[in-house]
Structure 1
Amino acid sequence: MEARWEAVDAYIGEHLLADDPGLTAVLANNGVHRLPPIDVSPAQGKLLYLLAQMAGARRILEVGTLGGYSTIWLARALPEDGRLITLEVDRRHAEVARENLDVAGVGDKVEILVGPAHDSLATMADDTGFDFIFIDADKQGNPHYMREAMRLGRSGATIIVDNVVRAGGLIEPDSDDPRILATRALFEQLKEEARIDATAVQTVGAKGWDGFLIARLR
């Protein structure tokens, strides 16, 4: 079954995603530097690009940069005067991302803040009004990152949280996996949060069985 998931992703790519040597080079460079291969898939990257465009995003916040693959998709969705801030805990990852962003031609739109996301977000007291926020960092931090997204986003902002299904682990109340516990806490948090309209979508594909949460800040 998983082979068919990957085959469907390949079919989608062949028909709906243009050949993109730049992004292929980014993934190759990530491999050279031995970054973990946990980037979003090409189809998911295109989805982020389209969602950011449909939201009319001019200011984007990303929590979790890795090698900048999703960052590039999001930066491409910005207008000429758009701006993206991305947070990365690992300095080496950030250096690879900067190289990739510059090669992709979007480096002038992107600022990388290096350090724990909790700390970087705390420094952004006055940097509010983001139109689009993508959360894809340490899953244990998701409840906190969502609270910060609500603080930093404008009314009507789109918030995406990746990897929320975790091969079905989301529905395991007795799990001892801190990533699953935090994801369940995120859902409980949003269940009671009047400022958020949200849903989640399961996905299968080259990245396996997972899913993402999509929310609108009132």
Structure 2
Amino acid sequence: MATFSIPLSQNGFPRSFYSAKRPQLVSPLAPSLARITCCATVDGAEPKESLSSCKHIGTVACGLLAVWALTNTTPVFAATQRLPPLSTEPNRCERAFVGNTIGQANGVYDKPIDLRFCDYTNEKSQLKGKSLAAALMSEAKFDGADLSEVVMSKAYAVGASFKGVDFSNAVLDRVNFGKANLQGALFKNTVVSGSTFDDAQLQDAVFEDTIIGYIDLQKLCVNPTISPEGRAELGCR
């Protein structure tokens, strides 16, 4: 059984629907607000809660309000959303050598690039300059690989290993490097925009002439694993 409670104003409409000045959903319920409770059952079982509060607006309206409630919740669902199943394509790891030929900036693709758990250790030629937009890279190994001039927009690289990787002249745009191992990685003349490095290992990483925005720099400088030399190169305070 699923129950949805929607705060309504006295005229029966959700406040966020008609208020252009305050589009946010009002979380605390004022005493003057009515409450609509929608109840659902499974396999014809009787609901534990009464449907009496739904009778005023009808079943259809109550269902619409339930959909509205799901689509206007806080973005917790996005943060905990599971990744798609691992691709069963036999040569999925080789797709990195072709890359993504469309939608580089926005991570648009005709077919997902699933590189999870692939091993590109010491790959020196076939990854350079490729577009890996929206690639799934979690738990993949790129240790010692040449990723110079690559375009990684909206890539998901949580838990991946990039030890000693050459990111020179690369574009790392909105990449999630959470918990990734980037020890000794070279970010020479690399564009870093909107990328996150939460709990990433950045010991001995080189940030020579790295191009990074002020807000991104502030977030990156919080990482305690960056060496004093790296902090000086970045201009961390």
Per the shorter chain, which TM-score range? under 0.3
Structure with greater strand percent? 1
Q: Which has the higher contact order (CA 8 A, sep 6+)?
A: 1
Q: State the TM-score, normalized to the length of structure 1.
A: 0.27
Structure with greater helix percent? 1
Q: State the TM-score, normalized to the length of structure 2.
A: 0.26
